[in-house]
Amino acid sequence: GVYAGLRPERVSQLVMMDFLGLKPPADADSPLLLRKWLDAQAAAPRLPTHADHAAFVRRLRTVNPRLTPARADFLARHVGRAAAEDRVEMACDPWHKVPSPFVYRIEDVMACWRQVQAPTLLLFAEHGYVNERLRDDPDELRRRLDCFADRRVVTIADAGHNLQHDQPERVAAALEDFLREGAP
């Protein structure tokens, strides 16, 4: 969303999935954040590993109980990779786990969102982060939504934050409908 506001001429359509900003920082102490970030640079971060494919499947289902066994198995095969000692880890950049050295300010992000010119699809999960964080604050939800001049909001039922894992068919249908509208 930020890029679409910074370079609106380069974005013809925008989709944001279960996101309307990060949680407010627990500590907005810039020197402390910078110190933690510098400390994290001392050694490459490591991802947790799992004994085998089956253990990784169990872990995926533990953190997302909505995953069916078949979907968890599929995900484990496609988002897992071999690690040292015949173990399995998530195939992602471990540096993504290192916290930012900068204080996150929602007002700065919202200023960027206000510059978005592209039609925007906001896909929310019924049990996702947006609803968890903003359900009891409708004024704040409205304030954030109003940053997007041309928006469509779709809530995916029976889905958590990883709505594409929980309800892939519904997410795909919403994406196809929205993206088809902007197709030449």
Domain boundaries, the chain: 2-24+104-181, 34-97
Does residue 92 sit in helix, strand or coil? coil
Per-residue model confidence as pLDDT tens digits over 17-43? 999 998 877 777 888 889 989 999 999
- For residue 122, the surrounding DSSP H or E stretch is strand 120-125
pTM for the structure as a whole: 0.88
What are 114-153's pLDDT values in tens digits?
A: 999 999 999 999 999 999 999 999 999 999 999 999 999 9
Cα distances (Å, whole numbers) of residue 97 to 41, 59, 139, 158, 183: 12, 18, 31, 28, 36
Enter the tokens of residue 115. 């510059």
Burial grade of 126 (CB within 10 A; 0-12, 13-18, 19 or more): middle
| Nearest by Cα to 5 from 118, 90, 173, 81 | 118
Q: 2-24+104-181 in CATH: which number?
A: 3.40.50.1820
